[in-house]
Amino acid sequence: MSEPVKRRYRSPLREEAARRTRAAIRDAATALFVEQGYVRTTVKEIAAAAGVALRTVHAAFPGGKAEIFHEALDVATAGDEEPVAVADRPGFRAALDDPDRLLPELVRLGTGLLERAGRLLTACQESAGADADMHALNELGARNMAANMRTVAEALERHGRLAVPVDEAADVLLTLCSPQVHDLLVHRRGWSPERYAAWSGRALALLLCTPSDRGEREGSPEPPARP
Question: Where do the domains of the chain lie?
Answer: 12-83, 85-227
pLDDT at res. 7: 58
Q: What is the residue type of 29?
A: A
pLDDT > 90? residue 173: yes
pLDDT at res. 224: 47
Architecture in CATH of 85-227 = Orthogonal Bundle (1.10)
pLDDT at res. 216: 46
User: Span 27-44, mean pLDDT?
Assistant: 96
Helix H or strand E segment including 39: none
pLDDT > 80? residue 54: yes
Reference 113, options 87, 149, 133, 136; nearest CA is 87
Query: Which pTM was predicted?
Result: 0.81
Backbone torsions φ then ψ of 209, nearest 5 degrees? -90, 155
Is the CB of residue 178 less than 8 Å from the CB of residue 138? no
Q: What is the residue type of 12?
A: P
By the 10 Å C-beta count (0-12 exposed, 13-18 middle, 19+ buried), 171 is classed as middle
Q: How many Å apart are CA 142 and CA 134, to the nearest integer?
A: 12
Higher pLDDT, 112 or 212: 112
pLDDT > 70? residue 220: no
pLDDT > 70? residue 221: no
**pLDDT band at residue 210 using 50, 70 and 90 as cut-offs:** confident
Q: Report H helices in the chain.
A: 12-36, 43-50, 54-60, 64-78, 90-95, 99-127, 132-158, 166-176, 179-182, 193-208, 215-218
pLDDT at res. 2: 53
Q: How many Å apart are CA 225 and CA 214, to the nearest integer?
A: 23
CA atoms within 13 A on the CB side of 38: 28
Q: What is the mean pLDDT of the chain?
A: 88
pLDDT at res. 8: 59
Q: How many Å apart are CA 169 and CA 166, to the nearest integer?
A: 5
pLDDT at res. 13: 77
Q: Which fold does the domain 12-83 belong to in CATH?
A: Tetracycline Repressor; domain 2 (1.10.357)
Residues whose CB is less than 8 angstroms from the CB of residue 13 and which lie 6 or more positions away in sequence, other chains included: none
Do the two domains 12-83 and 85-227 of this chain adopt the same fold? yes
Higher pLDDT, 100 or 221: 100
